[in-house]
Amino acid sequence: MINLVSCVSVDYHNLLVPHFLKYYEELGVDKFHFILNVQERFDNLKELEKLLNRNNIEIYLWEGEFTTDRKLIELKKIFEKLKGWIIISDVDEFQDYETDNLKLFFQECDKQNISLVTGILQDRISRSKKFEKVKEKEDIFEQFPLEIKFDYERYDFKLIAFKDFIETNNGGFHRFVSDGRIQHSKSFKIWHFKWIDGIVEYTKKRRKVFKRKNLPHFVESDEILDKIQIN
């Protein structure tokens, strides 16, 4: 059983979800677990709940302000219930395992006693280099064909899949405790569809929350906004 766990900002990232589902279902994910964080856009929530009303999808509703600390708490609740391989992916992350069959990939990992897989973020943007709205019908890779690198990331390296529960103190999974587990020798590419319509508003809103709560993440939010203004 391959489980995938993801946290979705319903206010901003709902248009990514159909593409995300299609991508990972074609790779062979058996069960999806979506944490839906909603603050204002309950109309988006209703649409997503219709889309995600399937036997292979579990929904966990989280209303209120987003922080990475709270995100980690919600993720851990799910991890503790699951066995076997777990993919952890934000909804704007499309992990490239260099295969079209995840079952065979993880079977090979099992043979080699590998239980941790990591990846490296690779940003993508529209051909116009503007933050375009995601279209439902057009392939997302064709909508955002250009590979770029925004040098705001302190950590572009992160955990993307693991077997059974793993301890981490970072909601983005840039840091984790390996406990002597064997890690895959290769870090795989993570296609990162962050730079879409709404990113500026989304980042500004998160920055206000992080700064008010005295969380260090607002520094990264400042760097993102500075980079956007420069470009």
Place 107 in a pLDDT band, splitting at 50, 70 and 90.
Answer: very high
Query: What's the pLDDT score for residue 85?
Result: 96
Q: What percent of the chain has pLDDT over 90?
A: 54
If one looks up domain 2-195 in CATH, what number appears? 3.90.550
* pLDDT exceeds cutoff 70 at 94: yes
Give me the residues paired with residue 37 across strands: 9, 62
- The pLDDT, as a whole number, for residue 230 is 40
Which pair of tokens denotes residue 50?
């219709």
Mean pLDDT of 119-138: 93
Structure tokens at 128: 């116009």
> How high is the pLDDT of residue 168?
61
pLDDT digits (tens, 9 = 90+) for 153-179: 556 788 999 997 666 655 456 556 567
pLDDT at 43: 83
Q: Average pLDDT, stretch 63-78?
A: 85
What does the chain look like in DSSP terms, one character per residue? -EEEEEEEEHHHHGGGHHHHHHHHHHHT--EEEEEEEESS-HHHHHHHHHHT-STTEEEEEEES---HHHHHHHHHHHHTT--SEEEE--TTEEEE-SSS-HHHHHHHHHHTTEEEEEEEEEEEE-TTSS-PPPPSSS-HHHHS-EEE--TT-S--EEEEEEES----S-TTSSS---TTPEEEEEEEEEEE---STTHHHHHHHHHHHHHHTT-THHHHHHHHHHHHHH-
